[in-house]
Amino acid sequence: MKNNPVSGAMYLFKGFGMLNQPGIRPFVVVPLIINILVFAVCGWFMMSWLSDWIDQLMADLPSWLQWLDWLIWFCIAAASTLLVYFTFTIIANFISAPFNGVLAEAVEEKVTGVKLNDDSPWHSAIVNIGPAIKEEFNKLFYSMSRSLPFIILFFIPGVNIIASAAWLAFGAWMLSVQYFDYPLSNHNIAFKAQRGLLKQKRLLVFGFGAMTMFGTMIPIINFFILPSAVAGATLIYLDHLKEQEVENTVEVK
Tens of pLDDT, residues 132-169: 677 767 777 777 766 677 667 666 666 666 666 777 78
Q: Identify which of 83, 80, 57 has the alpha carbon closest to the alpha carbon of residue 69.
A: 57
Residue-wise pLDDT for 20-44, tens only, equals 998 898 888 888 887 788 777 777 7
φ, ψ of residue 3 to 5 degrees: the values are: -95, 75
pTM: 0.74
Q: Identify which of 121, 122, 240, 99 has the alpha carbon closest to the alpha carbon of residue 182.
A: 99
Residue-wise pLDDT for 179-236, tens only, equals 998 899 888 888 788 888 998 888 999 999 999 988 887 777 878 888 999 999 999 9
Q: At what angle do helices 242-252 and 191-199 cross, to 10 degrees?
A: 110
Strand segments (E) across the chain: none
Whole-number Å distance between alpha carbons of 135 and 163: 28
**Coil, strand or helix: which one is 208?**
helix
Whole-number Å distance between alpha carbons of 223 and 35: 8
Whole-number Å distance between alpha carbons of 146 and 174: 10
Q: Say how many C-beta atoms besides its own lie within 10 A of residue 220's C-beta.
A: 6
Whole-number Å distance between alpha carbons of 87 and 90: 5
DSSP string, 129-145: HHHHHHHHHHHHHHHHH
Whole-number Å distance between alpha carbons of 180 and 144: 18
Residue-wise pLDDT for 45-78, tens only, equals 767 776 776 667 666 666 766 666 666 666 666 6
- 232's CB contacts (< 8 A; 6+ apart) are 11, 12, 13, 14, 15, 16, 179, 208, 212
Lowest mean pLDDT among 92-96, 119-123, 203-207: 119-123
Quote the pLDDT of residue 252: 39
Quote the pLDDT of residue 118: 65
Element (DSSP H or E) covering residue 19: none
Element (DSSP H or E) covering residue 196: helix 191-199
The type of residue at 81 is: T
